[in-house]
Chains A and B, each alone.
Chain A
Amino acid sequence: MLEAKHIAKAFGGERVLRDVSLRVDQGQVVAIIGRSGSGKSTLLRCLNHLETVDAGEIRIDGRPMVTTGPGGTPVYAPKAELRALCLKMGFVFQNYNLFPHMTVMRNLCQAQERVLRRPKAEAAERATALLAQVGLSDKAGQYPCQLSGGQQQRVAIARALALDPEILCFDEPTSALDPQLTQEVLGVIRDLAREKRTMIVVTHEMRFAREVADTVVFMQEGVIRAVGTPDEVMGDHRSEELSVFMGLLGDD
Chain B
Amino acid sequence: MQYLNDPDLLMKLLSQLAGGMLTSLSIFFSTLLFSLPLGLVVALGRMSRRKWVSVPVSFFILIMRGTPLMLQLFTVYFFLPRLVGPIPRLQSTMIAFSLNYAAYFAEIYRGGIMSIDRGQYEAAQVLGFTRSQTFLQIVLPQTVKRVLLPVSNEVITLVKDTSLATAIAVGELFLVAKNATSASGSVEPLFIAGLFYLAMNTVVTFFFHWLTRRFEYYRG
Contact = CB atoms under 8 A, between A and B. Distances in A.
A binds B: yes
Interface of A: 48-50, 83, 86-87, 89-91, 93, 95, 97-101, 110-111, 114-116, 143-145, 159-160, 163
30 contacts: A50-B122, A83-B128, A83-B130, A86-B126, A91-B123, A91-B126, A97-B117, A97-B119, A97-B122, A97-B123, A99-B138, A100-B218, A100-B219, A100-B220, A111-B127, A111-B128, A111-B129, A114-B129, A114-B137, A115-B128, A116-B128, A143-B217, A143-B218, A143-B219, A144-B220, A145-B218, A145-B220, A160-B127, A163-B127, A163-B128
B142 interface: yes
Contacts of A49: 125
A93 B126 CA distance: 10
A90 B133 CA distance: 19
Interface of B: 117, 119-120, 122-123, 125-130, 133, 137-138, 141-142, 145, 217-220
Closest 4 CB pairs of A and B: A100-B220, A97-B123, A97-B119, A111-B127
B126 to A, nearest CB: 4
A91 B133 CA distance: 19
Nearest to B128: A115
A97 B125 CA distance: 11
Contacts of B219: 100, 143, 145
Contacts of B133: 114-115
A93 B128 contact: no
A182 B120 CA distance: 23
Chief secondary structure at chain B's binding surface: helix
Contacts of B122: 50, 93, 97
A91 B126 CA distance: 6
Chain A CB within 10 Å — which of B119, B125, B128, B138 has the most? B128
Contacts of B145: 101
A50 B141 CA distance: 23
A110 B126 contact: no
Nearest to B117: A97
Contacts of B119: 93, 95, 97
A111 B126 CA distance: 10
Contacts of B117: 97
A97 B120 contact: yes
A48 B220 CA distance: 26
A114 B125 CA distance: 13
B142 A101 contact: yes
A11 to B, nearest CB: 15
B129 A98 contact: no
Nearest to B125: A50
Nearest to B215: A101
A116 B128 CA distance: 9
A190 B6 CA distance: 85
A163 to B, nearest CB: 7
Contacts of B128: 83, 86-87, 111, 115-116, 163
B123 A101 contact: no
A163 B128 CA distance: 9
